[in-house]
Structure 1
């Protein structure tokens, strides 16, 4: 079977698994394991939560220096989106393949799996590893487990290609993604007697104001020559929940905010300033009114950025595979930084455009899949 035909057959099967982050992906992972094992793949399934799993599978010799082909198996929800047809049934029109996950990022997974017979038949000097994860869309949770297990097992791949949709451009760096929810607990009461309550909403708004003040410092911290758009770390207030009625002092408030640091020092700067303001100003004022008052961070997700490396082996490999020389950086986050933290050189390159991701009638084109297959078809030659 031709590579493209095999890829489309696999992609159709992958799309049929409704692996939304809120649901289990285990059936999909088990299907991938069953597909790979006849090609001699050594499959390890890992998880830290019921119903969800990663797979780390290896074809080739048991030696260091292998190449990881990585992708996430979860997709974003389709609820409330205006799809032209069933999002979990792949359809083709005009050379475009529609379905949830075709672009982000089951197209790359399908192409990588389609090459398994060729990897198995090749005389590889270094192994090819498949690393497919859960819950990337809600904080790269699965990749954290997978990379930790890889490090604990003493596995030392040299490089990883993360196949996020880049239109097959070579991406050597991206910002981090840090998400937080901070909850304020006050004391409710009648609005006509403000001294008897602790207004959680008012303290939450002061917290928000401080974040906005800190945000003003970030443009000046951008490294000279930064290629990011925008060129500096960003910070956004995304949620504020509080109150039940006009005449009730709210005793609960929650602030959801995020930042996308281009360097660890920016993350540390923001965290240190908002934490000191909370610890030294807001919390003492609240507790002076009533000791039950409190401020607590109830959710935090910090995904590492991918720092450009002029000596990146992963970038060198993808340049050789694609014939391309230009590299870029992007503002959206991926699992690449986690592999980099685990000691594996990482690069991002995959079929489809990020502009199609997360939208109704998501698609990837045949042309993009063909370019991806051409790149992956040269992998075996790179590992001799």
Structure 2
């Protein structure tokens, strides 16, 4: 496999405007056609509305012990960013490969496809799997059916490598990311007659105080692998709140957005149960004392599970000999890795390039990093023969 082959594939991938939340059939069709030409088995997992699809690709025998190379096909919009050149046309300059998604994470997808193209399928004794998802940047919805499919129907792989940019260092842990919208519906009244209304803002404030209390309690409790993180405990915050119509009107509606960053499975359920119990048993009855049709609605926006460190797991051991550092890191951002781990698969995050370039103007991956990623995947794949 030569570097130019991978660069050519990357050029094609970058040209697809596969923005999160929008149709990705063009890039998915390209990948599927590419994989079919290699004789791969392919499963498609369409979104509920049918506009997007994930892909699970297998080369080699369907036996245990394979390797899954995982990444997302979607990219974030360029918005009002002022790029030096077309963000959807790969540009090589000064030892860098520029374009939207070059580092996050079409670069890894290109390397995975180039590896697949260079692999002698007939010589494989264990399978090479490629798991390419949609909407990672907004919900991680696309990876869920892939992880479920592997768990239910695929002979257990040895390891999953999620190829987010880690500068070729092993990331063995990251926090989960969860987000809920809480909407409180009360009853409007004149502020001089508050007893005739049900103040949705006051009710929401009571729930927000509970959020703050939960956050304080988490800060005082030990968590698994907490020492790996700059903030060594789960966090719960309120980032958005809106409601009310005027200063002299009792608010009939208030909503707020609550976000949590968790270290362990189960912590999210604890948070939700605390808020739900307070809403159901205390706050809502108070509202309904003056407004019987009051409601409190809690809606999950997204739920990305944490990746919990499994020291010396098969995934860590597999990648350790090609990593740029012997140390296993934890990161603050979330990835799709937790979904695979929740499905019982040893998983690490490992890939070329720097996360500092993700979503940036003139996003790039260094060619030296790209080549290092290429060499690492070739070495890793040797365990399949």
TM-score by length of 2: 0.94
Number of equivalences = 383
How far is 1:265 from its partner? 4.6
Is the Cα contact below 8 Å between 2:72 and 2:105 reproduced in 1? yes
C-alpha RMSD of matched pairs (Å): 1.8
Q: CA deviation at 1:317?
A: 0.6
- With 165-174 and 180-189 compared, the bigger mean Cα shift is at 180-189
2:62–2:155 contact (8 Å) kept in structure 1: no
Residue 329 of structure 2: aligned partner? 328
* Aligned positions of 1:1-384 closer than 5 A: 3-49=2-48, 50-120=50-120, 123-223=123-223, 226-322=227-323, 324-384=325-385
Q: CA deviation at 1:104?
A: 0.9
Are the equivalent residues in 1 in contact too, given 2:319–2:380 (CA < 8 A)? no
| Residues 221/35 of structure 1: CA separation in 2 closer, same or farther (3 Å cut) | same
How far apart are 1:155 and its partner, in Å? 3.7
Which stretches in structure 1 are left out of the alignment for 5+ residues? none
Instruction: Give the Å deviation of 1:358.
Output: 1.9
Structure 2 portions without partners, runs of 5+? none
Tell me the TM-score normalised to structure 1 length: 0.94
CA apart distance, 1:361? 2.0
Which consecutive aligned stretches of 4+ in structure 1 deviate over 6 angstroms post-superposition? none
Mapped to 1, the partners of 2:273 and 2:237 lie a distance apart of: 17
> Per the alignment, do residues 287 and 10 of structure 1 end up closer, same or farther by CA in structure 2, a change over 3 Å counting?
same
d(CA) in 2 for partners of 1:142, 1:127: 22
State the distance in 1 between where 2:250 and 2:88 align. 47
How far off is 1:99 after superposition? Answer: 1.7
Query: Contact conserved, 1:40 with 1:120, CA < 8 A, in 2?
Result: no
3-state secondary structure, aligned to 1:80: coil
Q: Secondary structure at the match of 2:126?
A: coil
Whether the aligned pair in 1 keeps the contact of 2:177 and 2:303 (CA below 8 Å) is: yes
